[in-house]
Structure 1
Amino acid sequence: MVLAELGRKITTALRSLNNATVINEEVLNAMLKEICSALLEADVNVRLVKKLRENVRGAIDFDEMAAGVNKRRMIQTTVFQELVKLVDPGVKAYQPVKAKPNVIMFVGLQGSGKTTTCTKLAYHYMKKGWKTCLVCADTFRAGAYDQLKQNATKARIPFYGSYTEIDPVIIAQDGVEMFRKENFEIIIVDTSGRHKQEDSLFEEMLQVSNAVDPDNIIFVMDATIGQACESQARAFKEKVDVGSVIITKLDGHAKGGGALSAVAATQSPVIFIGTGEHIDDLEPFKTKPFISKLLGMGDIEGLVEKVEELKLEDNQELIKKIQHGHFTLRDMYEQFQNIMKMGPFSQIMGMIPGFSQDFLGKGSEQESMARLKRLMTIMDSMNDGELDNRDGSKLFTKQPGRILRVAYGSGVTEREVRELLTQYTKFAAVVKKMGGIKGLFKGGDMAKNVNPTQMAKLNQQMAKMMDPRVFQQMGGMNGLQNIMRQLQSGGGGLGNLLGGGGGAGGAGKPGGRH
């Protein structure tokens, strides 16, 4: 995932402190050399790397350090703070205001992913309940309007553009005016991609800006162009008042540091990063959580937000079932649905402390999601009686003909259906164990509410249903317990962690067709 190689190298350098018997100048210099090399390899501007090194060296004075001070912790904290400064211009990002039109104008280079990002941002706000729309003022690139139209139609976002009008200023003005009258809250204007040497296109960009009077101008920066980002960013900033930055194509790109460090040239905050081609591959950018994730320290705040985005209120029915040790195939299906809604699995894993950014490689993630969908397809071929039975696996064991029917209906082998039932049996066993643990459903500190012996047994049960390699990467039993504690204390609560709530039902429910 995002800058994974850089994160690994910096983390390795910081861990070298733990291996050192004595923390002195030599150890500090060796660590800084590794960190600076990693940053330079990731295309971070050499001036900024030099400044980071000087700031860390200036903050750490071994002669002046008080006795008993944790030198390792102090150095690690200082490096963290300097990395934050590297990508934080200290400027507050524009915040859209509800119940009023917020005009957001996009600018950027040709091929930076600007048009796609316009749709992603509109979709992001639409999911949060804003009334959003798109205006295509890109008349320079052939097919720009068709692309925006196709993206917007797929995402069900209203849009405006023209095949006949060639003046982008008129299109932008007419589109914004129309959507203002219709009380749209987020009006996103896409403009032509341009290069700093194209004076006429830069002049056109300024005219569009003057015509629509945007509340926020977003500069879309392509991470793949490395250090060239800085001169481009500066050129745009000099022509129009760039208020925010979105960095695209950061998924798996090792040299994305050039784009991150180019933020200094715009003196504008990064508000989102593009992490893939899909419409929901747009992550809100917060500097400290981003650096925290980069170093494998997790982002509990982001994880809780992901859970809350599902709008899952406490599902008393599900909690009651778990307390009584009941867990049906339909319940498992609904939890799979919620996992799919939360977005890319590796993104979620990166938010949990102790997980590396590339916990799952790209291929592995796709395989995991494909497997999840395949399991759901199998359950789609089950009837209500099978899905709602308190012990669905026994029903299939007693009547093997059901396995054959489900396999035939879902286009899989009988072995795959049996594997699903085995997985379900393990899930149900864990739920039964959870139902017997007193204090698990109380708020507050789980460590105080739950008997450690019972929790250990639950962790062992969970370990049996997981791939051993994955279980070890999660930190074994302690890792599982920590994740549950962190999620609960972060505000998600066990009900949310399990995905309880109304979001899982409705049209997406399986069954009822046989």
Structure 2
Amino acid sequence: MFDNLSNRLDSVFKKLKGHGKLTEKNIEDGLKEVRMALLEADVHYKVVKKFIGDIKERSLGQEVTKSLTPGQQVIKIVNDELTKLMGDSHEELKLSGTLPIPVMLVGLQGSGKTTTAGKLAVLLRKRGRKPYLVPADVYRPAAIDQLKKLGVQLDVPVFPSDAKADPVQICQKALVAGQKEGCDTLLIDTAGRLHVDEELMSELCRIRDKVKPSDILLVADAMTGQDAVNIAKSFNDTLDIGGVILTKMDGDARGGAALSIKSVTGKPIKFIGVGEKLNELEPFHPDRMASSILGMGDVLTFIEKAQSVVDEEKAAELEKKLRKSQFTLEDFRDQMVQIRKMGSLTDLINMIPGFSKNKQLKNLEVDEHELVRIEAIINSMTPLERRQHTIINGSRRKRIARGSGTSVQDVNRLLKNYTQVMKMIKKISKGGMRGFGRGMLPF
């Protein structure tokens, strides 16, 4: 999303680092490029004006002139200001009051409200809560059916809404039903329109006044850029929303909505949709997003993703096997499955600090299909073959290739690379585990 902005900022910083001393002129020249990059990213022009002014004031101040590395200090200032622009720190969902606690999802048609309701249910359940889905969009019958199907898929209870009923009554009855179901959080999927109108806002206000939600979240499409900011302002002026969920952040949007919403509305982005899968809704962290834009990676999100899929007992057991050089193909397959649960490998690699600045690695696309082939090859082996790869002779290789829908050459390559990795692990084990990790994947 922020590739163009990241590239432009990187270019500016390189020029600033080339100056032994920062002057008003070279800072002004650099900030002109930053200004253009932000405007091209569809950031609101008033936001850009204030942002550039704040950076210029700080860059010409004492904190830079007294710095031994003024160019790097400017990068720090830009990072600080980007973070402040998006809200300083992550703001959580407000969940307080009598159970079940209502949360309203509002927004225009096509923003992804219904799917986001399912994603939010997944995220809350991971946190130990018991969500209850409430379809309150009676004008689009497919929305009710869609949410019911999501509920079945996720094993989350859904209120049996009737398309002929009044949305306010649906929400009031759902409060009672949710309590009987033993749920603690009501996720209300409200109606949308193709544009903001008086009728829509009136209905949403009636639901808000009767249900008294603990939080109101606007679901907005990041791909719409400044339109998303204007929509957020309209909904906030009428409903006093608690925050925003930006969907389609994995697309090719320019990023203006993410950088403008907090400044224009005063309300934070709380979550972002980073993919189509129901587990691809993430808390929004302004500081991490700023680091990512500046090519510094996002180590904390990487760690959180790892912690969410890694079994600590299995990890400790794996470490013992590695130290004793007992890491089998079966172990490798299990580790690969866990890594794939963390999401796209390309996205994970881009979270590594400095990765985006490496010209050779920047546009690297990891072939996810290769991982599928490797898993298929290992699954086609017998349990004994996975534990003792040395018994795999020519006839066994042919059988494994047939069973996995691959070629004998694919099987040979996997076994060869696995053998090389095992040799490397033995060397590392003898000299301690320092440096372990590079070249781990045998393909």
Same fold (TM over 0.5): yes
CA apart distance, 1:41: 0.3
Instruction: Determine the structure 1 residue equivalent to 2:332.
Output: 332
2:106 paired with 1:110:
no
Aligned-partner Cα distance in 2 for 1:98–1:333: 46
What's the secondary structure of 1:403's corresponding residue?
A: helix
Instruction: Determine the structure 2 residue equivalent to 1:348.
Output: 348
Q: Which consecutive unaligned segments of at least 5 residues does structure 2 have?
A: none
Instruction: Determine the structure 1 residue equivalent to 2:406.
Output: 412
Instruction: Determine the structure 1 residue equivalent to 2:56.
Output: 57
Aligned-partner Cα distance in 2 for 1:115–1:360: 35
Instruction: Determine the structure 2 residue equivalent to 1:319.
Output: 319
Instruction: Determine the structure 2 residue equivalent to 1:31.
Output: 30
Instruction: Determine the structure 1 residue equivalent to 2:121.
Output: 122
Aligned-partner Cα distance in 2 for 1:357–1:74: 19
2:95 paired with 1:101:
no
CA apart distance, 1:252: 3.2
CA apart distance, 1:20: 2.9
Aligned-partner Cα distance in 2 for 1:105–1:10: 38
User: Does structure 2 conserve the Cα–Cα contact (< 8 Å) formed by 1:194 and 1:202?
Assistant: no
User: Does structure 2 conserve the Cα–Cα contact (< 8 Å) formed by 1:109 and 1:194?
Assistant: yes
Larger mean Cα displacement after TM superposition, 268-277 or 80-89: 80-89
User: Does structure 2 conserve the Cα–Cα contact (< 8 Å) formed by 1:90 and 1:269?
Assistant: no
Q: Which consecutive unaligned segments of at least 5 residues does structure 1 have?
A: 441-449, 468-514
Aligned-partner Cα distance in 2 for 1:15–1:224: 30
Q: Spell out, residue by residue over 1:318-346, the C-alpha distance to the aligned partner (whole angstroms, 9 max, x if none).
A: 22211112211101101101111111223
Q: Spell out, residue by residue over 1:350-391, the C-alpha distance to the aligned partner (whole angstroms, 9 max, x if none).
A: 3221122996769x35xx2222122111111111101122xx
Identical-residue share of aligned pairs (%): 34
Q: 1:99 to 1:317 in 2, by over 3 A?
A: farther
CA apart distance, 1:463: 5.4
User: Does structure 1 conserve the Cα–Cα contact (< 8 Å) formed by 2:24 and 2:60?
Assistant: no
Instruction: Determine the structure 2 residue equivalent to 1:386.
Output: 385
Question: Could you tell me the TM-score, scaled by structure 2's length?
Answer: 0.91
Q: 1:239 to 1:426 in 2, by over 3 A?
A: same
Instruction: Determine the structure 1 residue equivalent to 2:396.
Output: 402
Instruction: Determine the structure 2 residue equivalent to 1:74.
Output: 73
Larger mean Cα displacement after TM superposition, 322-331 or 85-94: 85-94
Aligned-partner Cα distance in 1 for 2:63–2:216: 47
Larger mean Cα displacement after TM superposition, 279-288 or 148-157: 148-157
Q: Which amino acid aligns with 1:105?
A: M
Q: Spell out, residue by residue over 1:440-465, the C-alpha distance to the aligned partner (whole angstroms, 9 max, x if none).
A: 3xxxxxxxxx5xxxx4xx68xx4597
Aligned-partner Cα distance in 2 for 1:225–1:418: 49
What's the secondary structure of 2:421's corresponding residue?
A: helix
Q: 1:165 to 1:63 in 2, by over 3 A?
A: closer
CA apart distance, 1:91: 8.8
Instruction: Determine the structure 2 residue equivalent to 1:14.
Output: 13
CA apart distance, 1:7: 2.0
User: Does structure 2 conserve the Cα–Cα contact (< 8 Å) formed by 1:9 and 1:38?
Assistant: yes
What's the secondary structure of 2:355's corresponding residue?
A: coil
Q: Spell out, residue by residue over 1:68-105, the C-alpha distance to the aligned partner (whole angstroms, 9 max, x if none).
A: 54311221111111111221177944344699533211
CA RMSD of aligned residues (A): 2.7
CA apart distance, 1:38: 0.8
Aligned-partner Cα distance in 2 for 1:194–1:89: 32
Q: 1:196 to 1:296 in 2, by over 3 A?
A: same
Q: 1:103 to 1:430 in 2, by over 3 A?
A: farther
Matches within 5 A, 1:217-232: 217-232=216-231
Question: Could you tell me the TM-score, scaled by structure 1's length?
Answer: 0.79
Matches within 5 A, 1:260-339: 260-315=259-314, 316-339=316-339
How many residues are treated as equivalent by the alignment? 440
What's the secondary structure of 1:245's corresponding residue?
A: strand
CA apart distance, 1:216: 0.9
User: Does structure 2 conserve the Cα–Cα contact (< 8 Å) formed by 1:4 and 1:357?
Assistant: no
Aligned-partner Cα distance in 2 for 1:158–1:298: 38
Q: Which amino acid aligns with 1:433?
A: K
Q: Which amino acid aligns with 1:27?
A: N
CA apart distance, 1:347: 2.7
Q: 1:184 to 1:361 in 2, by over 3 A?
A: farther
